[in-house]
Amino acid sequence: MREPQTAIKRILDANLDRAREGLRIIEEWCRFGLDDRQLVAECKQMRQEIASFHSTEIRQARDTATDTGTTLSHPQEEQRSSIEHLLQANLCRVQEALRVLEEYGKLYNSEMGIAFKKMRYRVYILESRLLPQREQQFKDIQLYLVTSPSETLFATVEAALQGGLKLVQYRDKNTDDLIRLTNAEKLCQLCHQYGALFIMNDRADLAKAVNADGVHLGQQDIPIAIAREIIGQGKIVGRSTTNPQEMELAIAEGADYIGVGPVYETPTKIGKAAAGLEYVRYAVSHSPIPWFAIGGIDLSNINDVQEAGTQRVAVVRAIMQADDPTSVTQQFISLLQPK
């Protein structure tokens, strides 16, 4: 075991490098891709501030030859599907490094903890300026697929994406974490390949691990603020609600959207009484944020749900158990188009 102060200096050294490298990658796109002088200047300023803390003492603690982390990699680090994916990966890299610097910096130099906390929020703002399309894309989405366990999970989701689906939530309550992680990685990549958003159910940690676009929380899950802290600013956080009180609380906590339901009784929510169309009507006049009616909605009853006032629906079995998910998706999208 190494002497604690030496280990702390090595941690600081590695993350000072990591934060600067990530910012440089982002800066190059701001410079050559966006021609945005202001964003370039902001990235450069943060790199210089980071460098000011990278003292000779910290650098001298480096021992690359014995660093067990230099040989480790992950499949997600070996490919980038788009400029957005590249920027998001490096923004996350910088945010993670700054959080490490904030915490370990407190043990080395109190000024580091303060400085890197402030910088982390500057990077959140930078992220919102670089990737504003996620928020706008989300606002335009009217159909939301929530998956259920299936032997044809990937084929069904891809068929729906081929039908125009732009929002997928991976929901699997009972599978082991390692399998869920693998499935989430594949689904996230698949969604991004089709230009769709990917949401992880319940687990902010897994959402963070696979670079999901957000996380959806149930009533018994962690507070929205904590989920946002885990997955990062600029990501989507949703909450299930079954009554006006839960809706009001989710809105007050800062949810980006809510689920409204179950509209009809559904095996997805065993033992949960239907909230009914009355709750849908309540949401129409009381929810200032986007919301999706959910629970037993299919092509046979969607007209009733629409007449109650909904413009967005989330479905499970209607697509996951469809013989032709592409066609069913297209029918839903057509019915949900503004008249």
* pLDDT tops 70 at residue 73: no
Please state, in angstroms and rounded to a whole number, the distance separating the CA atoms of residues 89 and 197. 15
Q: Name the band, by pLDDT with cuts 50, 70 and 90, for residue 42.
A: very high
The two structure tokens encoding residue 320: 């996951």
Beta strands in the chain (DSSP E): 143-146, 167-170, 197-201, 214-217, 236-241, 257-260, 291-294, 313-315
pTM score, whole prediction:
0.66
pLDDT tens-digit profile of 153-171? 999 999 999 999 999 999 9
Task: Determine contact, residues 98/116, Cβ cutoff 8 Å.
Answer: yes
pLDDT-derived band at 270, boundaries 50, 70, 90: low
Rounded CA separation 26/24 (Å): 5
Check: CB of residue 277 under 8 Å from CB of residue 308: yes
- Residue 163: count other Cβ atoms within 10 Å of its Cβ: 20
* Vertex 290 angle, CA 120 and 217, to 5°: 60
Q: Between 136 and 271, whose confidence is greater? A: 136
CA distance 241 to 263: 11
Identify the pLDDT of residue 304: 96
Between CA 60 and CA 77 the distance in angstroms is: 28
pLDDT of residue 72: 47
How does residue 63 score in pLDDT terms, banded at 50, 70 and 90? confident
Q: Facing residues of 167 across strands?
A: 197
The amino acid present at 5, given as its one-letter code, is: Q
240 is known as an active-site residue: yes
Cα 292 to chain centroid distance, Å, stands at 18
Q: CA 39, CA 44: separation in Å to the nearest integer? A: 9
Nearby residues of 201 by Cβ (< 8 Å), 6 or more positions away? 146, 169, 170, 171, 172, 173, 215, 216
Q: Among 47, 120, 203, 240, which one carries the catalytic annotation?
A: 240
pLDDT in tens, 200-237: 999 999 999 998 999 999 999 999 999 999 998 778 99
Please state, in angstroms and rounded to a whole number, the distance separating the CA atoms of residues 333 and 329: 6
Residue 266: the pLDDT is 77
Instruction: Look at residue 234 in the predicted model and tell me its pLDDT.
Output: 75
Long-range contacts of 70-73 (CB under 8 A, 24+ apart): none
- Confidence band, pLDDT 50/70/90 cuts, at residue 81: low
**Of 9, 10, 166, 171, which one is the catalytic site residue?**
171
How many angstroms separate the CA atoms of 193 and 267, rounded?
Answer: 31
Mean confidence (pLDDT) of the chain: 90
- In this prediction, residues 233-257 reach a mean pLDDT of 94
Question: Tens of pLDDT along 103-151?
Answer: 999 999 989 999 999 999 899 888 878 875 667 788 889 999 999 999 9
62 is catalytic: no
Band of residue 1 on the pLDDT scale cut at 50, 70, 90: low
Average confidence (pLDDT) over 292-308: 96
| Closest C-alpha to 101, from 9, 27, 231, 24 | 9
The reported pLDDT for the residue numbered 67 is 65
Instruction: Write out the DSSP string of 303-315.
Output: HHHHHTT-S-EEE
Residues 93-115: b if buried by 16+ CB within 10 A, e if exposed:
bbbbbbbbbbebbeebeeebbeb
Is residue 289 a contact partner of residue 255, using CB atoms and an 8 Å limit? yes
Check residues 65 and 210 and name the one with the higher pLDDT: 210
Q: Give yes or no for residue 298 having a pLDDT over 60.
A: yes
Please tell me which residue in 180, 269, 287, 312 is annotated as part of the active site.
269
Q: Is it the case that residue 70 has pLDDT exceeding 70?
A: no
Average pLDDT over residues 57-69: 79
The residue type found at 316 is: V
Question: What is the pLDDT confidence band of residue 44, given thresholds at 50, 70 and 90?
Answer: very high
**Cα atoms in the 13 Å half-sphere on the side-chain side of 279:** 25
- Predicted confidence band at 338 (pLDDT cuts at 50, 70, 90)? confident
